[in-house]
């Protein structure tokens, strides 16, 4: 599985694709409630890493820890780097890669014809590689108060059961 599992950073990258500076994109994401006052967990990739650990357990029954993963966020991205990639037929996305053996998180170049390159704003998406049906990409909301509230409510209900 490979996917965009942090809507906050995806929003920031989308804004940088539109020429907005990293700092301004971060400020916008914070103003919209996508980022905490300390955005480190998101922009350094640790929020996505935690989700990758959960995916690894759910998909492959593997119990990973943070110290077993390579994690690198989006702090090094700039609108100029993103524009240069676009000129070569790519864009950037913060991607979690989860395999039966390992998981990692990093800002990666994605071909413009790949489904994940078109996922913009505070949206999440994941591509599952299947044996019989090829790649399947699922796309949905990834950041915001309603989405976070629903996730918390679902977790509380699951704990109660």
Residue indicated by tokens 């790949």: 114
Residue indicated by tokens 């590689």: 129
The answer to whether the beta carbons of residues 1 and 55 sit under 8 Å apart is yes
What backbone torsions phi and psi does residue 108 show, to the nearest 5 degrees? -130, 150
- What angle is formed at CA 108 by the lines to CA 144 and CA 72, rounded to 5 degrees? 75
**Annotated catalytic residue within 8, 11, 16, 51:** 51
The answer to whether the beta carbons of residues 94 and 105 sit under 8 Å apart is yes
Half-sphere exposure of 51 (CA within 13 A, CB side): 23
51 is catalytic: yes
DSSP line for 26-53: HHHHHHTTSS-SSTHHHHTTHHHHHHHH
Q: Write out the catalytic residue numbers.
A: 51
């Amino acid at each position: 599985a490979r996917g965009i599992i942090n809507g906050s950073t995806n929003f920031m990258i989308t804004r940088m694709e539109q020429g907005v500076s990293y700092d301004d994109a971060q400020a916008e994401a914070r103003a919209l409630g996508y980022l905490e006052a300390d955005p480190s967990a998101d922009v350094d990739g640790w929020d996505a890493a935690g989700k990758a650990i959960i995916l690894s357990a759910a998909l492959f029954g593997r119990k990973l820890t943070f110290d077993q993963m390579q994690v690198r966020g989006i702090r090094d991205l700039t609108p100029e780097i993103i524009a240069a990639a676009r000129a070569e037929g790519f864009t950037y996305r913060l991607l979690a890669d989860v395999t039966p053996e390992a998981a990692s998180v990093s800002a990666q170049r994605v071909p413009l014809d790949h489904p994940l390159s078109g996922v913009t704003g505070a949206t999440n998406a994941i591509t599952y590689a299947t044996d019989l049906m090829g790649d399947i990409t699922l796309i949905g909301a990834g950041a915001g108060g309603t989405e976070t509230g629903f996730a918390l409510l679902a977790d509380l209900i699951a704990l109660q059961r």
